[in-house]
Chain A
Amino acid sequence: MTRRRHRRIFWVFVVVLAALHVDFFNHGTSPPLLFGWLPADLAYHMAWVIAAAALVLYFTRYVWRDYDGS
């Protein structure tokens, strides 16, 4: 896959994750406790961060070139 295509994929996921960050569907409710103790809203954002960290690894591997601009 070309770097240009990797770059497009990366930016699509950036937009998707940014949209998913705004979890208005959790707002105004009393979210259930997962496993009886973990607030679902907190779990949602922890999962979001893990997805973001994975995207960052992908981005540094396939999108960002090792080029010093010379």
Chain B
Amino acid sequence: MGPEATILIVVVVYFVVVLGIGAAAFRRSKPTAEDYFLGGRLAKSLVMFMALFGTNITPFLIMGISGLAYHHGYGVFGYTAAMAALIIPVAYYVIGYPAWIASRKLKAVTPAELLARRLDSPNLGRLLFLVYFIYMLPYLSTGVAGVGLAVDVFTQQAISFEIAAAGILVITLLYTTTGGMRATMWTNVFQGLVFGLFLYVSIFVVAADFGGISGVMTEVAQRFPELAATKDTPPFTTGNWFVWGMAMGLVVLAFPHLLVRVFAAKDVKSLKNSIRYYPAIMIGLMLVATLYGVWGRIEFPDFVGRDSDMVFPMVIRSHFGPMVQGLALAGILAAVMSTLDAQMLTLSSMLTRDVWYGLSQRRQVVLGRLFLVILGGIAYYIVILRPASIFALAQLSFSGFVTLTPIWLLGLHWRRFTAPAAITAIVAGNAVLVAMFYEWLPNPGLIPVAWSFMAASIVGVGVSFFTAPPPESVTDPVMTPIRRAMGDG
């Protein structure tokens, strides 16, 4: 049996296990929207942790970060990962926790639904769906493109990029459209374990092949000294360093598919436990990804531009046999599927609850499934175009999501915040972001997300003072419990 056949068998076995878990979850689910989209709000600590972990690990992490580290060195860890260890838990406290309380009080299933009800504005929900949809597409495409690249490398073009990308979309659609949130959370436990364990173990094996960790790092320092030094040049200028660090922390709960996982928590303890060890484990994986990128430079020194996205699968292929390569590929598939499923499910739930609502619960589920198929088709089209590197696509997407953060902070902590202010802040923030990205506005330093975040914050606060606040009958049922829980009242 050839190495490609072995790799494929390992991957097929993996898929069978994932689909089996999805089917088991489906048998235990009820035909209600709350069960389909939030798993009945019964996620306990381990499932919550693995759901967050699995959802947050993507090809951006393993292939995007390693691809960037390949060019810019160890500094990528400080630039992209370190700050998130602190800011993600802080965001869970100031956004996730009050949002979890509000979702229960308002019986909201989606992030857009929550803010629309909190501010008494269905149009706000529709606008949020649109913004989430636009920024989710490039992020979705990074996952699918990552799979295409990995399969292409591991099978040595036996399976093409296009077929691999289509395959991952179809399989994810199959188990997501049947099992819903319960299936995605159950499969995430399995997928997170596969991926996380593989990365942590494999980096030590690679290091051993190079003569140990000290050996490989000494070789990098001698052959590529520029990779060991962080310079005050792009992307590591001081201002960008801080802003991107903050953005990487804030973006996690700006993702609707992550925020909806928070809604699914059974109780506060589950929420807290899920975040307690998450930063150390998650950031550890980002360190591993950085090391893969930098160390890969020794063996593959000639990648130019976005080709460095391939460094992780190339290193794996040169250090491991077909069985482990199959596991690595399964790990990447795990990472992609556990994120894709959550992204798709969340967008479809927003469509049926925030845009096209008033349907029976059964019709909501049917429409949600139909939307998933259409979404998958659009994502596939973008993947085939491959307009930029994984990191660059993710950076655009993340910036869009982070621009929404001020709306969440104001909406969950300030009674005076109004729906017109939220809508104008979203429009203003995104207008600034797009203008900065396309260089229609002069950039006085810092990356675009810094300015779009500031624009959304200023407009959100300013417009609130000139518009009528929501009536107390709308704000009190949500804001009073939040203030009490945060220890402010």
| Residues of chain A having any CB pair with chain B under 8 Å | 3-4, 7, 14, 17-18, 21-24, 26-31, 33, 35-39, 41-42, 44-46, 48-50, 52-53, 55-57, 59-60, 63-70
Asked, given contacts A38-B217, A45-B78, whether A27 binds B85 with beta carbons under 8 Å apart, the answer is no
Q: Is the CB of B83 within 8 A of A18?
A: yes
Q: How far is the CB of B272 from chain A (nearest CB, A)?
A: 5
Residues of B within 8 A of A23 (CB): 78, 230
Q: How far is the CB of A22 from chain B (nearest CB, A)?
A: 5
Residues of A within 8 A of B208 (CB): none
The residue from A30, A37, A44, A52 contacting B214, defined by CB atoms under 8 A apart: A37
In the bound complex, how far is the Cα of B272 from the Cα of A57, in angstroms? 10
Closest to A44 in B: B78
Asked, given contacts A35-B214, A69-B101, A69-B484, whether A60 binds B225 with beta carbons under 8 Å apart, the answer is no
| Residues of chain B having any CB pair with chain A under 8 Å | 74-75, 77-78, 81-83, 85-86, 89-90, 93, 97, 101, 104-105, 213-215, 217-218, 221, 225, 228-232, 236, 238, 241-242, 245-246, 267-269, 272, 275-276, 279-280, 283, 287, 481-482, 484-485, 487
Residues of B within 8 A of A44 (CB): 78
Closest to B215 in A: A37
Q: Is the CB of A56 within 8 A of B85?
A: yes
Residues of B within 8 A of A30 (CB): 225, 228-229
The residue from B238, B482, B487 contacting A27, defined by CB atoms under 8 A apart: B238
Q: How far is the CB of A56 from chain B (nearest CB, A)?
A: 5
Q: Is the CB of B272 within 8 A of A41?
A: no
Q: Is the CB of A60 within 8 A of B272?
A: yes
The residue from A36, A49, A63 contacting B85, defined by CB atoms under 8 A apart: A49
Residues of A within 8 A of B236 (CB): 27
Q: How far is the CB of B339 from chain A (nearest CB, A)?
A: 23
16 more contacts with CB within 8 A, not counting A31-B229, A31-B230, A52-B86, are: A17-B86, A21-B82, A24-B232, A24-B238, A28-B231, A36-B218, A38-B214, A41-B228, A49-B81, A49-B283, A53-B279, A55-B86, A56-B85, A64-B268, A69-B105, A69-B482
In the bound complex, how far is the Cα of B75 from the Cα of A23, in angstroms? 11
Q: Is the CB of A27 within 8 A of B104?
A: no
Q: Is the CB of A67 within 8 A of B484?
A: yes
Asked, given contacts A21-B82, A30-B229, A66-B268, whether A14 binds B97 with beta carbons under 8 Å apart, the answer is no
In the bound complex, how far is the Cα of B272 from the Cα of A67, in angstroms? 11
In the bound complex, how far is the Cα of B275 from the Cα of A62, in angstroms? 14
In the bound complex, how far is the Cα of B266 from the Cα of A66, in angstroms? 13
Closest to B229 in A: A30
